[in-house]
Amino acid sequence: AHERGAVLDHAVDSPGLRKASPETAAWLSLVAYVRHVFTDYDALLADGYDADSARFFVAAEMDEVLAGWGVRRRVADEA
């Protein structure tokens, strides 16, 4: 319930997602939440990796979390 609320709040409140379709806003919010909360993405950035490289290194881990939640769409396929 906590994750769902955090993702939905981000999707609705994010200025960058206001023009996105509801489906796109929900997906991007979900992916961002998983990336920041369940991976070492932020630590990689702090270590000097650029955002694209850090995303590459955590994509498989993100897919594992999402699959555990029943999500069929894969982040690694979009990279």
Write the DSSP string, 50-64: -HHHHHHHHHHHHHH
Question: Is residue 37 very low, low, confident or very high in pLDDT (cuts 50, 70, 90)?
Answer: very high
Computed from CA positions of residues 47, 79, 14, 39, in that sequence, does the dihedral angle turn out positive or negative? negative
Q: Write down the mean pLDDT value for the chain.
A: 89
Predicted pLDDT at 30: 92
Predicted pLDDT at 17: 84
State the Cα–Cα distance between residues 46 and 77, nearest whole angstrom: 25
The DSSP line for 37-52 is HHSSHHHHHHTT--HH
Give pTM, 2 decimals: 0.83
